[in-house]
Structure 1
Amino acid sequence: MTATLPARAEAPTRPGTHRALNALRAAAAMLVVVYHLRTLLFVDPAEAGDGALTTVLYAVTGLGPAAVLVFFVLSGYWVGGSVIAAFRRGRFRWASYATARLSRLWIVLGPALVLTGILDHLGLALLGNTSIYLGDPAYHHTVPVADLAGRLDPLTALGNLGFLQTIVVPTYGTNASLWSLAYEAAFYAIFPLALYAWKSRGPVGVRILNAVLLIAVCALVGPKVLMYLPVWLMGAGVALYRDRIAAVLARLRPRTLTLARAGAALVVAAALWATQASYSSRNVLLLAAATTVLLALLVQDLRWGGLPGRVLDALSAYAESSYSLYAVHLPIAALIAALLAPHAAQRWVPSPAHWLALLALSAVLVGAGWLFAWCTERHTGHLRAMFDSAFRAVGRSARD
């Protein structure tokens, strides 16, 4: 298959080699964790008082849902960029693409579903009368409302493993965070299908088949998933023009580039704040656009040294565990919250001690994410090699 996309551009820098974007990814994951813990452990904002510091802390710890949009933009840049690069070289192959994506997703998702099942069954057995495991709506759907046991059946687990959560089956157990993986998987399929049908110089029949599959995937996932596709595509758009953007940045004076990056970061922070206050379509697009601008300004990595550089290094290193953190933190947080605040009416009122406890528990979950990644994500290459070997064996058998 030969593509007709413009030549010359390279694939975006891999996630593991770009400190600034890795740090952004890690920070977004941590914001999601803090948000879920605060929602489960603290009283609602309306009951927290109207002090300025409390208002600010509730807003900062409420950025989690908005931070997921940052993930989508970065995913579009990295995954969409890899697809664009493969098409430009005329080397896109569904088998290699599928093994890369599925090995990356499943090596964490499968064990995360097992862990969720174990922790949720433990919670239901030992803490079944607590508000969290009874599905109290006071938690605003951070954990599912009612019939938690009904969401722990094998069919739901298989549906989540097949990225059909929120589309055909509910998210598994208390792990409501898994909704975004279904959206990601849909985008991973839609983008190359569209490129193949539109830009490929391959046989007409193959292009038609890809177009039919594209329509089928879009019909399956529906509008609630497709409405987030433009956010993902914004990141892919940066990847498409990465070389041109990098050339423009190279002509800027260092001070000008620094000021532009600082300004874009402030706009992203303001957009995050606005989105947590009102999760409207306008604010979602504003945040996605602001993140895209910042992403474009960061296609060339930061060259910080000293203490800022070490902080950047630490966040970048942890980014390799951010997917694991995202996939496992919520069932752990639910169990912790059921132990510390068994009933919704017993949730904490803001106080210095409680904020410090929130910080400490967030650190515990960050550590749990790192440990889980050490057991899973670090072996992604091995799983991919197994998938590649299996595909080659099937291909040889088909030829024979």
Structure 2
Amino acid sequence: MTATIPTRVRTDAPARPGTHRALNALRAAAALLVVVYHLRTLLFVDAAEAGDGALTRALYVVTGLGPAAVLVFFVLSGYWVGGSVLAAFRQDRFRWAGYATARLSRLWIVLVPAVVLTAVLDHLGLALLGHTSIYLGDPAYHHTVPAADLAGRLDPLTALGNAGFLQTIAVPTYGTNASLWSLTYEAAFYAIFPLALYAWQGRGGAPARILNAVLLLAVCALVGPPVLMYLPVWLMGAGVALVRHRIAARLVALRPLALALARAAATVALLAALWATQTRYSGLNVLLLAGATTVLLALLVEDLHWTGPPGRVLDALSRYAESSYSLYAVHLPIAALIAALLAPQAAHRWAPSPAHWLALVALSAVLAGVGWLFAQATERHTGRLRALLDRVIRAAARRPRA
């Protein structure tokens, strides 16, 4: 089944994540913010106990942006994945088999080993450090790790549910790896978007469109309002992809100084929206953050051309972005184990001090290194897994039927 989109807007797929330095850097920075937030929550006393110093308050704000930063991932995902779907539909080359293997190979090659690693680390933690606050489920950690019955979240059914993107719907997130919640949302958006396009303008006549509409409603009913309320955030990125070439033409026409100032202002607005969303997580603040991310995304449709030291920093972040999914998927059970060793009880969490802030930086770097190593064994081979799945599907399609 294929489909077309009747539009005059050119919708070629956006540049792949590996070829756009600025957006890759934004993706890597968002992943690092999540890691720093989780480490700081597990290791440091709450902000209310940290003191009133201006520098301390500022550091708590900066290290508290992680949960809101996940919304940046959603917008970027809508741009890259939604943009590729729109391009395929317009060119009448969208195929469910190819799309499914692309998306599932991308998700599973990291997710399945991450679940296995979580099982190993959490069972080790429960066996050796079961007396610590983290593995006892102390609510002092604000649900960064489960607040109760960690052992009950390590059963095979929960593992399978997480591999099937049913966490937060039918099963809890696996073990201490609460970060896996967002993969349910991503998988739902990946299914909903092409189903909606088929239902709206798919080929095959009314029966095919009705079938796709029914499937769309079934997916929406399965995931429910908690997931669907974030769909507009993802669609904002897809909207930028739809008019990407128009935006690029406008950006090229701007004076370099005007474009630089606009990008700087959008970056400041994004940081302010991250802070506001983290301070008060509300529907309005979520939309403001998604809007700020979308504006910055639009201004970065044309990549940055920095050179010298800024260019090298941009290059480094861009390269690391190829490991950002791995980092996101594995860091939390590792961070939980580290925190249980360094601060066994919630009452032992660190007061802010220069030595402790340096330790936070060092541990964040260690986790970033682990994420990179994990990606070398998993994420780096996504193309091979996709090719294997494609071959299996083609072989099954050629098999004669009895």
Do both proteins adopt the same fold according to a TM-score greater than 0.5, normalized to the shorter chain? yes
Q: Distance in 1 between matches of 2:400 and 2:44?
A: 58
What secondary structure sits across from 1:354 in the alignment? Answer: helix
1:167-206 equivalent positions in 2, closer than 5 A? 167-206=169-208
Match of 2:148 among 146, 151, 157: 146
**Residue of structure 2 equivalent to 1:5:** 6
Other-structure match for 1:254: 256
Shift of 1:202: 2.6
State the alpha-carbon separation in 2 of the partners of residues 243 and 11 from structure 1. 10
CA distance in 1 between partners of 2:162 and 2:400 (Å):
30
- For 2:354 and 2:31, the matched residues in 1 are separated by 24
Equivalent AA in structure 1 for residue 275 of structure 2: W
- Per-residue deviation at 1:204? 2.2
State TM-score, norm by structure 2: 0.98
- AA aligned to 2:178 is A
Deviation at 1:398, TM superposition (A): 5.8
Amino acid paired to 1:340: L
Residue among 40, 55, 58 paired with 1:56: 58
Which residue in 2 is equivalent to 1:228? 230
Tell me the residue number matched to 1:372.
Answer: 374
The whole-number CA distance in structure 2 between the counterparts of 1:118 and 1:88 is: 45
Q: Residue in 1 aligned with 2:114?
A: 112
Please show how residues 256-335 of structure 1 align to structure 2 within 5 Å: 256-335=258-337
Tell me the distance in 2 between the aligned counterparts of 1:161 and 1:368: 22
Report the equivalent of 1:390. 392
2:103 equivalent to 1:101: yes
Mapped partners of 1:97, 1:372: distance in 2: 25
Q: How many residues align?
A: 400
Is the 2:35–2:66 Cα contact (8 Å) retained in structure 1?
A: yes
The answer to whether the aligner puts 1:92 opposite 2:94 as a matched pair is yes
Q: 2:40 pairs with 38, 63, 68, which one? A: 38
1:23 matches 2:25: yes
**Deviation digits for residues 57-115 of structure 1, max 9, x if unmatched?**
00100000010000000000000001000001001110000000000000000000000
Counterpart code for 1:149: A
Which runs of no fewer than 5 residues in structure 1 stay unpaired? Answer: none
Q: Percent identity?
A: 80
Gaps of 5+ in 2: none
CA–CA separation in structure 2 for the residues paired with 1:61 and 1:12: 31
Q: Secondary structure at the match of 1:109?
A: helix
1:368-400 alpha-carbon deviations (Å, 9 max, x no partner): 000000000111011001110111112112667
Equivalent-residue separation in structure 2 for 1:154 and 1:209 (angstroms):
34
Partners of 2:280 and 2:142 lie apart in 1 by: 15
In 2, Cα distance between equivalents of 1:110 and 1:69: 23
Which range moves more in the overlay, 370-379 or 192-201? 192-201
Q: Is the 8 A contact 1:4 1:201 kept in 2?
A: no
Deviation digits for residues 103-148 of structure 1 (CA, Å, limit 9, x no counterpart) = 0000000000000000000000000000000000000000001110
Q: Aligned partners of 2:184 and 2:58: how far apart in 1? A: 32
TM-score (norm 1): 0.99
User: 1:95 and 1:293 mapped to 2: Cα distance?
Assistant: 33
Call closer, same or farther: CA 1:399–1:195 in 2, change over 3 Å.
farther
Shift of 1:201: 2.9
Are 1:73 and 1:233, in contact at CA under 8 Å, matched by a contact in 2? yes
The SS at the match of 2:399 is helix
Secondary structure in structure 1 of the residue aligned to 2:245: helix
User: Residue type of the partner of 2:91?
Assistant: R
Asked if structure 1 preserves the Cα contact closer than 8 Å seen for 2:24 and 2:321, the reply is yes
AA at the equivalent of 1:3: T
Aligned residues of 2:21 and 2:314 also touching (Cα < 8 A): yes
How well do the aligned residues superpose, as a CA RMSD in angstroms? Answer: 0.9
SS of residue paired to 1:145: coil
Q: SS of the residue aligned with 1:129?
A: coil
Kept after mapping to 1: 8 A contact 2:159/2:174: yes
- CA deviation vs aligned residue, 1:15-36 (integer Å, no higher than 9, x gap): 0000000000000000000000
